[in-house]
A and B are shown apart, each in its own frame.
Chain A
Amino acid sequence: MSHALAWLLVGLGLPVVMLQRRTLALGAVTVQALVLVGIALQGASGPAELVAAVALGARAVGLGLVFWLLTSRTRDPHPMRAGNAPLRRGGPAVALALALSWLVPAFGLESRTAERVVLALVAFGLVVAATSSATVFQVLGIVLLENGLALAALGLPGTSWLIELGAAFDLTLIALVAGVFHERIFAEFGAGDTAALVNLRD
């Protein structure tokens, strides 16, 4: 993986951590997923890899459509407060990414750069899901994390198209179910904000 491509993938992950606008974050995640499709197509050497690339493409387009529909049907009256300033979200995300790439030894992908990109995207996804109270951002965090893992799967030898297809299907299913919940939460509380979900405490 070239350094430019690595920076592009990481650079498309950072807006999801830093920004509060759902449409921009959604655009960044979708473009990132499409870049992964490009990588998959470039490395495809047989029908199995081609099917895996098509599955990734269907996932990218499907998720983009689901999220676009969601955000257009549930417009928040005001941008949601994230609770933390952008730098206070970005700082931990970058710190976790650096810590992971320092702590996790080489695990067998084509290059250490590719491994670092995978770990950075996993770190970004975890931080977004943990620090954002907006329902859409929490799901985008999961998608970001899975984009990182999809990149790792592309670099593995003997990747099974069946597993790739299943992972794409599962993630789309999770996003659809999250969409149902998001719409209900929006209807019930007037915003897609998990800060309102405080009834269940011991």
Chain B
Amino acid sequence: MTDRAHLAEATVVAPALLACLLACLPRGWVVAAARVGAVLVAALAVLTGGSALADPAHPHVGDWIALDAAGGLLLAVIGVVGLLAVLASPAYLDSTTSTLVTEPRRRRVFLVVLSAFWAALLGVPVAGNLGAAWLLVEATTAASALLVGFSGRPRALEAGWKYLILTSLGLGVALLGVTLLAAGVPGGGLGGLTWRALPHYAAGPATGLLAYLLLLVGLAAKIGWAPVHNWLPDAHSEAPAPVSAMLSAALLPAVLLVAWRCEQGMAPVIGGGTARGVIIGFGLASMAVSVPFLSRPQPWKRLLAYSSLEHMGVIAVGVGLGTPLALAGAAVHVVGHALAKSLGFLAVTPLLAHEPGAAAGAVTGIARTRPVLGATLGLSLGALAGLPPSPLFASELLIVAGGFAAGLPWVAAAAAVLLALAFLGLVRALLETTLGDAPQRSGARLPALRGVGTLALGTVAALLALAVASPWLPATDLVHALAKGVS
């Protein structure tokens, strides 16, 4: 086993140990220990992800651990988003009460479950076989469902229950697909179903296609792809803000990576066009379904949730097209979306303190009453809309260009039209949220505003750097490594 594989193992084990530690420490130490531990875990994740990205031509591919460029990218993203979520959690916990867990244990339970969720999530992009990847995705469901319903309010219970049942059923369907594949891979079995074994599926293309469809439909329920996305807007809008950031910016793309690895592995068996077509179909459907919801006034978190539906669609189209241009676009999109969406969700704590109505309805004119908060919301929404110089503008251009390069002009054209419609909806929401009419609001000090303002500055710098780097990306070794995958 290589050093990189050991690093990957340590990255998964570290947050699990953090969860155990937080469960045992005296109550007064829990928050401080969570902060220190989260910095260490994030540093480890970025280091491990960075090591894979620095040498993309030589991925580590073992039976249980696989660390390639795509996995490294996701590992770094999950590390950073997880760190932000842990750092933002004390402010969230101070600003709300919960009926799901009694007061003395509230902080400990939240941080322990969040760390356990983070551990399972960090394992997904480095899982070396389909069985392990399925187990880790299923494990994220248990932990994150508890977090979605953490407030214990009726709406949160409804969202958490829907999320638990729909994604568990989806993953059950995916497991049937995994079982079909395991039965058809020579010498396979569930544990032997490595990414490199998938192209050797030998039970025939018809059964292979059926297994692939079951897998993708099941995983789609977890990714939140339309038409099996019903839980997504509810869970993202009712979960605590740090959890919403983790769900949207880290969990969805991590599961999407598993779906993409299946596509790369099964393409030689069922045909590249068919395998790609399924992912592109889910992508376009998700973009199309999100447009009407992005075009009408929504509560802030619900708007961000529908934006997640759109962006998972965009990334699906990017990886489905599979050309260097489209893959570069998808990589930039994953990172840019994670940064902008985390900022948007983490700004919810001061937003709700400033305008409690934001939980149930669209907010207007925040920049008129709180310029820093308004600018933060505007930055998040502008970046998500793909307003230049957002890197998502560059990534969307790359993906559309990649569609033409792949010889699929209709896909490129449909994606371009849907992107334009979503852009119009989000820009309207941006203008209303920041510069619309402002009702009388309290001028009281807002919790976590300073931290969110600092995060906004860091996000601007990171987004600009990403935007500058993106035009050069298609010609790099990184994109060639992404196209090669681990199969």
Contacts and interface: CB of A to CB of B under 8 A. Distances in A.
B186 to A, nearest CB: 9
A138 interface: yes
A158 B149 contact: no
Contact of B187 (A107, A135, A157, A199): A157
Nearest to A152: B179
Interface stretch (A1-9, A17-25, A170-178): A170-178
Given A184-B100, A199-B154, A159 B189 contact: yes
A108 B141 CA distance: 30
B172 A160 contact: no
B149 A184 contact: yes
Interface stretch (B84-92, B156-164, B274-282, B403-411): B156-164
A144 to B, nearest CB: 10
A77 interface: no
Contact of B160 (A146, A163, A167, A181): A181
A152 B190 CA distance: 10
Contact of B293 (A139, A166, A200, A202): A202
Interface in A179-202: 180-181, 184-185, 188-189, 194, 197-200, 202
A69 interface: no
Contacts of B192: 158, 160
A105 B173 CA distance: 16
Interface residues of A, number: 50
Contacts of A53: none
Contacts of B203: 107-108
A44 to B, nearest CB: 15
A99 interface: no
A60 interface: no
A181 B138 CA distance: 17
A58 interface: no
Contacts of B100: 180, 184
A142 B191 contact: no
A153 interface: yes
B234 A200 contact: yes
B223 to A, nearest CB: 18
Interface string B198-212: 000001101100110
Contacts of A170: 135, 138-139, 142
B179 A157 contact: no
A145 interface: yes
Interface in B123-178: 131-132, 135, 138-139, 141-142, 145-146, 149, 152, 154-155, 157-162, 164-165, 168-169, 172-173, 175-176
B482 interface: no
Interface in A122-147: 122, 125-126, 129, 135, 138-139, 141-142, 145-146
Nearest to B302: A202
Nearest to A198: B158
A109 B139 contact: no
Interface string A107-127: 111000000001000100110
B155 A199 contact: yes
B152 A184 contact: yes
B436 interface: no
B188 A158 contact: yes
Nearest to B158: A197
A149 interface: yes
B68 interface: no
B154 A181 contact: no
Contacts of B152: 184
B179 A173 contact: no
Contact of B158 (A118, A157, A178, A200): A200
A163 B139 CA distance: 13
Given A105-B206, A167-B135, A180 B146 contact: yes
A138 B162 CA distance: 11
Nearest to B296: A202
A177 B180 CA distance: 28
Contacts of A108: 183-184, 203
Interface string A72-112: 00000000000000000000000000000000111111000
A162 interface: yes
A65 interface: no
Contacts of B190: 153, 156, 159-160, 163-164
B402 interface: no
Given A129-B169, A160-B131, A160-B190, A197 B146 contact: no
A177 B155 contact: no
Given A122-B176, A145-B172, A104 B154 contact: no
B224 to A, nearest CB: 14
A117 B136 CA distance: 27
Given A105-B207, A188-B154, A199-B154, A145 B169 contact: yes
30 contacts: A107-B180, A108-B183, A109-B183, A126-B173, A129-B165, A142-B165, A142-B169, A145-B172, A149-B179, A155-B183, A156-B188, A156-B189, A156-B190, A158-B191, A159-B189, A163-B131, A163-B132, A170-B142, A174-B141, A177-B146, A184-B149, A188-B154, A197-B154, A197-B157, A198-B158, A199-B155, A199-B158, A200-B234, A200-B238, A202-B233
Given A145-B169, A167-B175, A178-B164, 20 more contacts: A105-B207, A126-B172, A129-B169, A152-B176, A152-B183, A158-B188, A159-B190, A159-B191, A160-B190, A166-B132, A170-B139, A173-B142, A174-B164, A180-B100, A181-B149, A181-B160, A188-B154, A197-B154, A197-B161, A200-B162
